[in-house]
Structure 1
């Protein structure tokens, strides 16, 4: 071996041993400057409210500003793309929903950004089922009665969602399939108009967050039938779960968490996850979660990744069984 080759080999070996040390030093010093937390939706929604609450908690724990940056558009893909293109050092993070990882690969296969390919799942934050509500003009008081009505009027009952690629749609399509009822999907650009139509009886069934549908329930314009989980939700113990009525039903919940650009050093990921878990368990964050209809879903990066993978497989079953086509 020539002297040049000896030097090259020594340099490579040195790099191999130095890389973990550099990552360890990065983790020990993290964070030593402001962090940017991208929320891929407009201000005011649950993701924004909880993202800001989490940012405040993390800033207090880290002694560094955590700046929320709203980047809405393309069902959250614009914000995800901005994070994916940032350095994988932990200083640019995404606060986003499970749909980015478990639904969009099926519905937006040609998108320029893929959460599975371009992002690392770092930490869960919040989790909740969606609620199933019917218009008060529809004379049904239970899931069983809705199924009976749907079978008596095939193709006449419409269910609303927040869009073709939304979790609400997946829940509605899965419900119709497992219940053996032909229903019509009515996509909306958000829940405001959907709620108006539900109140007026133009729409029969609506899936959404409890906070978005609660005003209709309090006004007597809608009736709550179920939550979209396999078992009852702890914050709503008196509300039946769809899993109680439909054999084969699996959890179809919404959960939000922290993502980072692909390649985040594991030691930094663990440090972020530990801080998120401590923040999520704080009394203030617990109150914020509950007020928005969520429970804490904090844990290790490995737990969040496993949860997302299970959700991805479940969504794939729904997409294939209901013959749902990707968006163009």
Structure 2
């Protein structure tokens, strides 16, 4: 019996050693990222761009799969409910905080560690041969035509495109006169703009910026407080005409990759190191910034949590005011963006903290990038 007891203790000891070795060896298998939107859009492109660099640093393959639907909630919920072993991530727009309000999932931003890389303004585009040269031209034409004459495309209810278009049309006094048409992503909406199915689209700037540069479409308004120039083309700031929309700049999408909040600290630290390295690489910046008109603004640690919370407040209350939200943001303790302060609710107060090492990695990255 004594001999058996000794053997049992030794077996347990070696099992612990083996477990430790396995944790230290992460990643020793390929990583999979579920992108919640269709191929070709900003969520897809930015995720693949950062993953291509991160896999060099991590020394393993990162496989990207599109799992579309419910504004990313289908793929994101699978990640949140999967084992938190670091091998399954979510990728795309930072709209996770809208899922409960939209009735899409019981999962929200606080269930993840968010590694945010770039931010894009939201843009109203028309075809290059359309008669509207300015936003005023478009609005005045909408006012002069019967209800239902105009249609606009977006990546779907709850997207930044749908929110911006709804807010803009209301501010212009034509809310309800234009029929919204949902698509599975900004790129798909753009294809239907070119085919003439819709008169304009409201999408993330980077979704179609290359088409604007090629002269196929024209930007009329950008949800930003100053004009943005890309490839010699001016994207006019909507706040010049509608200053009341400036607070809603918080709906502009950040993009990133997200890991289950229960993931062990040692894995999160390795991910943070790889992420900080990846966003500095010319390959990532060429694709996400130079080609897609993104603004490099990486976030991790508490700064990332705060940004995710601001996005939650701005988007959820906009969705509620537009009648798109299925549930009242008050049910989830979400403050309006004009009343936001950190921490905004109990979910934020009770977050599992980021490893201190990640905060140090972020501080060094921010200093290096002059943020």
TM bracket (short chain): 0.7 to 0.9
Deviation by residue 1:263-317 (Cα, 9 ceiling, x = unmatched): 2345543442332122011111111112233232322232222111111111123
- Judged with a 3 Å threshold, the aligned counterparts in structure 2 of structure 1 residues 281 and 140 are, in CA distance, closer, same or farther, namely same
Alignment coverage as a number of residue pairs: 301
Instruction: Find the counterpart in structure 2 of residue 274 from structure 1.
Output: 273
Q: Report the equivalent of 1:88.
A: 84
Aligned to 1:240: 236
Please state how far the C-alpha of 1:175 moved relative to its aligned partner.
0.7
Q: 1:326 aligns to what?
A: 326
**Residue 147 of structure 1: how far off its partner (Å):** 3.2
Which of 148, 166, 169 is 1:176 aligned to? 169
State the partner residue of 1:104.
Answer: 99
Alignment-derived partner of residue 311 in structure 2: 311
SS at match of 1:174: helix
Decide which of 163, 176, 187 is 2:156's aligned counterpart.
163
The answer to whether the 8 Å contact 1:122/1:273 transfers is no
Relative to structure 1, the CA distance from residue 38 to residue 134 in structure 2 (aligned partners, 3 Å threshold; closer, same or farther) is closer
Q: What's the CA shift for 1:225?
A: 0.8
Distance 1:271 1:194, change over 3 A: closer
Contact 1:36 1:67 in 2 (8 A): yes
Partner of 1:52: 48
SS class of match (2:298) = coil
User: Offset of 1:83 from its aligned partner?
Assistant: 1.0
RMSD: 3.3
1:189 corresponds in structure 2 to 183
Distance 1:45 1:301, change over 3 A: same
Q: CA deviation at 1:71?
A: 2.8
Answer whether contact 1:120 1:260 (CA < 8 A) is retained.
yes
Q: Are the structure 2 counterparts of residues 72 and 148 from structure 1 closer, same or farther at C-alpha, using a change threshold of 3 Å?
A: closer
TM-score by length of 1: 0.77
Residue aligning to 2:140 = 148
What are the Cα deviations for residues 177-217 of structure 1, in whole angstroms up to 9, with x where unaligned?
22222332322334567445534655322112445545764
Distance 1:71 1:131 in 2: 25
Deviation at 1:174, TM superposition (A): 0.9
CA distance in 1, matches of 2:65, 2:187: 24
Equivalent of residue 32 in structure 2, options 16, 32, 36: 36
Structure 2: how far apart are the matches of 1:326 and 1:276? 35
Counterpart residue number, 2:218: 223
Deviation at 1:137, TM superposition (A): 6.1
Q: CA deviation at 1:96?
A: 2.3
**Cα offset, 1:172, TM superposition:** 0.6
Q: 1:293 to 1:61 in 2, by over 3 A?
A: same
CA displacement at 1:234 relative to structure 2: 6.0
